């Protein structure tokens, strides 16, 4: 059966039922569009491919539970968020490296400070990585992009209360993960 003439809505229903041909049609219909959007922003083919593949992998893995109303819009938002997350993680690592360089230049404790900072960096990454995807995304938008609660709510099409809840949960998780580092002075 040729699926090229089917609407996205029908393909999504077939996908939810586990039809791998429907998934392949969705993939072939949208892969290039997502890749071009990612490549345009990243200027790196491998990273763009990796982000797109991850989106499609998640769709396939969550095909029975995922709720998508408009496939094109969902995929555009997914690639945009993937690019944002990629830039944020790159920026976080650059900030950590810069902090380490600044710390080593001015710290009296030398190697011990670097080790402590490295451990703290790993603990922060682990804590952020343990957050559910939506909570992690909201936390990064709040703390790294410094968006307001209202801006995040508007961008993600959720209530401001939901944004506040996710930020609160993020901070609670970070406190637990970082409790051993609270007494350190940087």
What is the CATH classification number for the domain harbouring 113? 1.10.10.10
Q: Which domain holds residue 77?
A: 1-87
The verdict on 8 and 75 lying in the same domain is yes
Buried/exposed 25-49: b ≥16 CB within 10 Å, e otherwise: bbbebbbeebbebbbebbeeeebbe
Q: What is the pTM of this model?
A: 0.52
The verdict on 161 and 128 lying in the same domain is yes
The verdict on 4 and 37 lying in the same domain is yes
Instruction: Say if residues 70 and 91 touch (Cβ distance below 8 Å).
Output: no
The verdict on 5 and 80 lying in the same domain is yes
Could you give the CA distance from residue 43 to residue 131 in angstroms, rounded to a whole number?
A: 29
Segment among 2-16, 39-53, 73-87, 169-183 with least mean pLDDT = 169-183
The verdict on 81 and 137 lying in the same domain is no
- Whether 96 maps to a domain, the answer reads no
Q: Which two tokens stand for residue 120?
A: 């703290």
The verdict on 15 and 67 lying in the same domain is yes
Q: In the listed set 56, 87, 118, which residue is the last one of a domain according to the structure?
A: 87
Tell whether the model's pLDDT for residue 162 goes beyond 50.
yes
The verdict on 2 and 83 lying in the same domain is yes
Q: How many domains does the chain have?
A: 2
Q: Which two tokens stand for residue 50?
A: 């990796």
Split at pLDDT 50, 70, 90, the class of 186 is very low
pLDDT higher for 145 or 114?
A: 145
The verdict on 78 and 116 lying in the same domain is no
Rounded (to 5) percent helix, strand, coil in the chain: 80, 0, 20
The verdict on 1 and 81 lying in the same domain is yes
């Amino acid at each position: 059966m040729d699926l090229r003439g089917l609407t996205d809505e029908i393909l999504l229903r077939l996908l939810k039922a586990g039809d791998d041909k429907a998934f392949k049609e969705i993939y072939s219909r949208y892969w290039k569009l997502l890749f071009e959007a990612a490549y345009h922003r990243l200027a790196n083919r491998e990273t763009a491919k990796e982000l797109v593949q991850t989106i499609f992998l998640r769709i396939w893995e969550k095909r029975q539970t995922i709720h998508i109303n408009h496939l094109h819009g969902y995929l555009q938002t997914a690639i945009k968020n993937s690019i944002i997350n990629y830039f944020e993680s790159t920026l976080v690592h650059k900030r950590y490296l810069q902090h380490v360089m600044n710390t080593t230049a001015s710290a009296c404790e030398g190697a011990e400070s670097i080790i402590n900072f490295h451990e703290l960096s790993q603990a922060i990454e682990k804590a952020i990585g343990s957050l559910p995807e939506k909570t992690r995304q909201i936390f990064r938008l709040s703390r790294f992009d410094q968006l307001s609660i209202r801006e995040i709510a508007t961008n993600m099409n959720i209530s401001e209360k939901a944004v506040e809840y996710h930020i609160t949960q993020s901070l609670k998780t970070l406190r637990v993960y970082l409790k051993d580092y609270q007494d350190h002075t940087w």
